[in-house]
Structure 1
Amino acid sequence: MQFQQIQHAFINHIKDPEGMPIPEGVADSRMAVYRELFFNNVQGFVSSAFPVLKSLYSEVHWLALVRHFFKNHQCTSPYFLDIAEHFLQYLQQSYKITEQDPEFLLELAHYEWVELYLATKPLKVLETPLLPEQVNQQPLALSALALVLVYHVAMHQISVDFKPAVGEPEHCYLLYRNSEDDVKFVAINQLTALLLQTLQQMPGVALDTLVQQLVPLLPQFNTAQLMQGAQSILQDFATKGVLVSFQE
């Protein structure tokens, strides 16, 4: 047997010990060490990245879910962060949800992955936070370490004791990493989410121009009301370090 064939047989058995035979000439006791090592590493990475999701499963069902991922998904990187992203992709693209899974499986997995993503994302360019009094004076930009997210479940309320039903209304969040490198979330209403999403799409916009973009989208408010509300909201987020000086 060629080395490449042995290598493939080794990998196939590690991923699917029940369905694939042990490579020829290798003792089961030796393979058992590798089977346990590889799976436990992946299981540990996934469990660390998705702690709330894990808490909603029995130990047996959680291990079965991770085993299914380990067996069926082709990971292209051994790094912890990449394995977490691969697990999310697997759930979104390949996994068939069962009665053992929470109804909000995909949204919760995404929310927890975003927390990890923001916690570890490197900044390519050093950002300068805006002061609240600069909101009216400076071109505005949302920090690269901030994301506006919309889900059909109140993510921050999910626990072993509370599993909300999926439905309306939409639940909007701003997740961001602060100056102490802690990831924080703010539950926001749909109007605030629209304001921040518009800002995210128009980095460098001035406050008055930003408000003008909102006027046709929110006909129930006049320009003065929108200006007052937008200024107050953005000043609050400036104190959190979410607004930064625009850089070309």
Structure 2
Amino acid sequence: MPSHFTEVQQQFMAHIRDPNHNKKPINIEERRMAIYRDLFFNNVEGFVSSAFPVLKSLYTKSGWQNLIRLFFSQHNCKSPYFLDIAGEFLEFLATSYSKQSTDPDFMLELAHYEWVELDVSVAQAQEHEAALQTNQVTNAGLLLSCLARNLSYTYPVHTISKGYQPESPLTEPCYFVVYRDSDDEVQFLSTNAMTALLLSIIEAQPGINLNLLCQEVARHAPQFSQEQLYQGALNTLSAMAERGVIVTKS
């Protein structure tokens, strides 16, 4: 049987999360309860707003508050850390949120694009990864850095603003690599379909070498000769190695 203290805790948190549907514990005065309600909600709203400034700008103040309130009251966060709140909000949008007529169709893609900057900024470097020199690309085992993300979107997420909200997807996806450079600054690099394919194969087959990589690419792009694929992949991966997007095993 739960203790009285446990019951009060559960009532307290249920009221904090959703005060409209859960009564406060009877022994806590309203003034103090209001302080707790505002403190918890405002902290969460602040972290989400700082992580998704463009998405927030597309909503009225009340519309944004309502969205955060739904997240706050409905989503069960898996992490206790404030730093993870943005990722939890993205998961909420992707898995349990019912899109409203006032939400843009590109909502989830834009949210992901904004979140990935935070994700890369706090990613932990891995000891098994070593910098890849450009003259090593031809022979080394290739890895996508743990500090890099290979991304594609059907909307031009990098251009969306309050003044520009596309109504339909692009005819071709837009591709990006988001990575943390040697100065620990997050960089956004626009790429293309072939670069995205190269990186996706490397990500799926860590340690693959250039020759095997080109054979894999040839299955998707049979219109190119092996020599064309090899030279194109070498040039692209050399540039990615210089940026630290591609690494090798230490």
* TM-score when normalising by structure 2: 0.93
Q: How far 1:138 sits from its partner (Å)?
A: 2.5
Output aligned runs, 1:131-170, within 5 Å.
131-167=133-169, 168-170=171-173
Letter in 2 for 1:211: C
1:12 & 1:139 partners in 2: Cα distance? Answer: 52
2:80 aligns with 78
For residues 88-124 of structure 1, the C-alpha deviation after alignment (integer angstroms, 9 at most, x for no partner) is 1111111111122121111111222222111101123
- 1:235 partnered with 2:235: no
Query: Which residue of 2 is the match for residue 176 of structure 1?
Result: 179
Which TM-score applies when normalising by structure 1?
0.93
Change (3 A) 1:63 1:29: same
SS at match of 1:173: strand
Q: Percent identity?
A: 45
Give the match for residue 187 of structure 1: 190
Alpha-carbon distance in 1 for matches of 2:126, 2:210 = 26
> Does residue 10 of the first structure (1) align with residue 19 of the second (2)?
no
Matches of 2:78 and 2:202, distance apart in 1 = 35
Uncovered stretches (5+) of structure 2, i.e. residues with no partner: none
> For residues 31-50 of structure 1, what are the structure 2 equivalents within 5 Å?
31-50=33-52
- Is the 1:104–1:153 Cα contact (8 Å) retained in structure 2? yes
Which of 177, 196, 201 is matched with 2:199 structurally? Answer: 196
Residues 203 and 246 in structure 1, CA contact (< 8 A), matched pair in contact too: no
Q: Partners of 1:102 and 1:93 in 2: how far apart?
A: 17
Deviation at 1:127, TM superposition (A): 3.3
Q: Distance in 1 between matches of 2:90 and 2:168?
A: 19
Q: CA deviation at 1:231?
A: 0.9
CA displacement 1:176-224 (0-9 Å, x = unmatched): 1111111112111111111111122222222122112211211111111
Q: Which residue of 2 aligns with 1:223?
A: 226
Judge which range, 115-124 or 77-86, deviates more: 77-86
Runs of 4+ in 1 over 6 A off after TM superposition: none
CA pair 124-135 structure 1, distance change in 2 beyond 3 A: closer
What is the distance in 2 between the residues matched to 1:97 and 1:126? 41
**Aligned with 1:128: secondary structure?**
strand
RMSD over aligned Cα atoms: 1.6
Listed as ranges, the gaps of 5+ residues in structure 1 are: none
Which residues in structure 2 correspond to 1:56-67 (within 5 Å)? 56-67=58-69
How far off is 1:131 after superposition? 2.0
- Residue 206 of structure 1: which of 200, 206, 209 is its match? 209
* CA distance in structure 2 between the aligned counterparts of 1:181 and 1:36, rounded to whole angstroms: 35
Contact 1:129 1:242 in 2 (8 A): no
CA distance in 2, matches of 1:77, 1:139: 34
**CA apart distance, 1:152:** 0.7
8 Å contact from structure 1 (residues 176, 183) kept in 2:
yes
Aligned length: 247
Distance (whole Å) between structure 1 residues aligned to residue 143 and residue 31 of structure 2: 58
